[in-house]
Structure 1
Amino acid sequence: MKIEFNDKGAVATVTVTSTVFEFRRHKRAVDTALLLAPGTIANRSGFFLMKTVISGPTARVIRAYKNVLREAAR
């Protein structure tokens, strides 16, 4: 699982990329981040190589990023 944080000023993004073999882990990490960081938006794409982009205000996306890292390490 690859997790990237990009700060673009007022808006930030977190990109989570993983393979189909890590589907449950990917889904759990993204869903937890969205639940614990309200006001963020997620765009999902791909099947064999899953990619989710979480975007929103920087403070909320930082909170989502920390939650994704915590769930991915679990």
Structure 2
Amino acid sequence: MKVDYQDKGAIATITITSTVFEFRKHNRVIDAVLFAANVKVVRSGLFLMKSVISGPSTEMLRAYKTVVREAAI
């Protein structure tokens, strides 16, 4: 699972990329982020899954902490 955080001023994005073998972990991380922060998620891909999470910087910092915590499990 690869996590990339990009801060672009008022709006920030987190891109999470993983393979089909990490399907359950990928979905668990995305679900935890949606519960923790008020953000927007766009998912794509089948064998190489990619999710782009975007929102205000303050919410994205909360989301990034959640992503790191859930990905470590």
Unaligned runs of 5+ in 2: none
Two-structure CA RMSD over aligned residues (Å): 0.5
1:54 pairs with 2:53: yes
TM-score, normalised to structure 2, is 0.98
Task: Could you list the structure 1 runs, at least 4 aligned residues long, displaced by more than 3 angstroms after superposition.
Answer: none
TM-score, normalised to structure 1, is 0.96
2:65 paired residue number:
66
How many angstroms apart in 1 are the aligned matches of 2:34 and 2:5?
Answer: 15
How many angstroms apart in 1 are the aligned matches of 2:37 and 2:53?
Answer: 10
Q: Deviations over 1:17-61 (max 9, x none)?
A: 0000000000000110111012x1000000100000000000101
Unaligned runs of 5+ in 1: none
What letter matches 1:5 in structure 2?
Y
1:30 paired residue number:
30
Q: What SS class does the counterpart of residue 52 from structure 1 fall into?
A: strand
Q: What SS class does the counterpart of residue 55 from structure 1 fall into?
A: strand
2:17 paired residue number:
17
Q: What SS class does the counterpart of residue 21 from structure 2 fall into?
A: helix
